[in-house]
Amino acid sequence: MNSLSGRFLVLTTVFVMLAEILIFVPSVARFREDYLMSRLERAQIASLALLANDMIDPQLEQELLRNAEVYNVVLLRNEVRQLVLSSPLPHPIDSTYDLRHAMPFTLVRDAALDLLGAPDRVVRVIGDPVREAGLQIEITLPVAPLQAAMIDYGLRILALSAVISVLTASLLFFAVRRLLVKPIEGVVAAMTSYAAAPEDTRRIITPTASVDELRQAEVALQSMQTQLTGALRQKDRLAQLGGAVAKVSHDLRNILTTAQLFTDRLDASEDPMVRRMAPKLVNSITRAVNLCESTLAFGKAEEPPPALSRVLVAPIINDVVDGERLACGEHDISFSEDVPAGMMVRADPEQLYRVLSNLIRNARQAILASGDPGEILVRATETEEHWVIEVRDTGPGLPPRARDHLFTAFQGGARKGGSGLGLTIAAELVRGHGGRLELVETGPGGTAFAVRLPKAVMSLEPGAA
């Protein structure tokens, strides 16, 4: 009986039986009233036979009383009470019931007393004669036949109630099993099948229930399974991408190491331009080698914790801007820096370089995609709680899809073919510093991002340390 259908069957049977019991009590009271009224009618008929012939045989009188199942009959005619039929009483009268103006509660109470009381009792019953044959009729009768009739009637009512309960419960059982239990079992089977192979789209449930609530549950389950399957596929692609990146990083590190050896020779060049650009080239190759080594060392999506130190922010911004300015080529993009010369921040210089490089590169690519001239401004300020580095461009702004999935890999790309990894990486690196990367504004007039680095240093209490 632990199943839904089994419990529903038991509950239905119990509730129907309770309803029948609530009907049983007034039904028995009604049966008792009808029984007593029939005895009053029989007694009236017997008394009329006697009134028609004053000289009636005593034996016939007793036969009339036995047929009416009463001891005595008293008629009230013309304001005179007359004992019409009589026989000896085995016991004194125990109770008197007046049926002329009996209320429902009184009838139920008296029925309970007669049903549960002693069977050898004698009662008096008062009622109105049929067809106005007098003013009042009284009879005395034994309780035992009444009690036996009430018990027999009650048993028949209970048996009928049991049959009705079982039949009703069975019909409801099959109806509920077909309309509710079967669809629920189908949903459970679909969930079990999907759990065995969640990446298989064929196992995603198709809503078929006709009941609105179950159909809503199936639709919600279908949506959840679809999203989960997509997430699993994306996770698998990311795992494959991670493996590929590790392999590429291994070979790229070797190539960059060789290139780094060649750049050492550039220091001996007499060309002023070469001598000015050589340190920047060496720094770029060194950063690339370090990034490849980090990828190989960790081999996972999480970035290594930053090595925090106090660094000047202006040289880092200047290096990033110089690299992006060279990448512009002939395009009309101007760069400007508003950075206090002595401003220092607490950060990992390599990770901060990557954050700013991603933000400024995205700004440059957005302006190039628009085909119009543009400007990129990098501004650094500080408050009592934060150092703030803002990157602002005059590009076309972020599309709605990029705003909805701003820091989600492979979903937040702002341009065609973009993966959205740049902002995802930048946001993760900033979080590693205890700060946050914010979209300040975006629209037709341009886009602005702000990097907020906290000045407060998290420290343990002496006891905890």
Same domain, 145 and 212: no
pLDDT of residue 298: 46
Q: What is the DSSP string of 300-351?
A: SSSPPPP--EEEEHHHHHHHHHHHHHHHHTTS-EEEEEE--TT-EEEE-HHH
Given a cut of 80, whether residue 258 has pLDDT beyond it is no
Share of the chain above pLDDT 70, in %: 78
Q: What is the mean pLDDT of residues 310-315?
A: 93
Q: Which of 126, 153, 170 is the C-terminal boundary of a domain?
A: 170
Same domain, 12 and 116: yes
432 versus 84: the higher-pLDDT residue is 432
Q: What is the mean pLDDT of residues 234-241?
A: 72
With cut-offs at 50, 70 and 90, classify the pLDDT of residue 415: low
The span from the CA of 405 to the CA of 425, in Å, is 14
In a domain, 16, yes or no: yes
With cut-offs at 50, 70 and 90, classify the pLDDT of residue 389: very high
pLDDT of residue 299: 47
460 versus 236: the higher-pLDDT residue is 236
Same domain, 132 and 12: yes
Same domain, 225 and 143: no
In a domain, 459, yes or no: no
With cut-offs at 50, 70 and 90, classify the pLDDT of residue 314: very high
345 versus 213: the higher-pLDDT residue is 345
Q: Residue 212: give the domain boundaries.
A: 204-242
- Over residues 374-388, the pLDDT tens digits come to 999 999 999 999 999
Same domain, 25 and 108: yes
Q: pTM value?
A: 0.43
Q: Which residues pair with 376 in a beta bridge?
A: 335, 393
262 versus 189: the higher-pLDDT residue is 189
Given a cut of 80, whether residue 410 has pLDDT beyond it is no
Q: What is the mean pLDDT of residues 118-136?
A: 81
| Helix orientation angle between 104-116 and 143-176, rounded to the nearest 10 degrees | 110
Strand arrangement of the beta sheet that strand 436-443 belongs to: 333-338, 374-382, 386-393, 446-454, 436-443
In a domain, 378, yes or no: yes
Q: What is the CATH number of the domain that holds 418?
A: 3.30.565.10
In a domain, 291, yes or no: no
In a domain, 426, yes or no: yes
Given a cut of 80, whether residue 113 has pLDDT beyond it is yes
Same domain, 35 and 160: yes
Same domain, 20 and 166: yes
Across the chain, mean pLDDT equals 79
Q: What is the mean pLDDT of residues 139-167?
A: 86
Same domain, 142 and 219: no
pLDDT of residue 347: 93
With cut-offs at 50, 70 and 90, classify the pLDDT of residue 73: confident
Given a cut of 90, whether residue 135 has pLDDT beyond it is no
Q: What is the mean pLDDT of residues 302-307?
A: 72
Same domain, 10 and 134: yes
Given a cut of 80, whether residue 227 has pLDDT beyond it is yes
Same domain, 208 and 166: no
pLDDT of residue 230: 81
Q: Which of 242, 264, 293 is the C-terminal boundary of a domain?
A: 242
- Over residues 29-57, the pLDDT tens digits come to 899 889 888 888 888 877 776 665 555 56
380: Cβ contacts below 8 Å, ≥ 6 apart: 313, 314, 317, 338, 339, 340, 343, 387, 388, 389, 390
Same domain, 224 and 318: no
In a domain, 225, yes or no: yes
pLDDT of residue 164: 80
Same domain, 153 and 72: yes
What is the number of alpha carbons within 13 Å of residue 424 lying toward its C-beta? Answer: 16
In a domain, 379, yes or no: yes
Domain count for the chain, please give it: 3
Q: Which of 242, 264, 288 is the C-terminal boundary of a domain?
A: 242
In a domain, 146, yes or no: yes
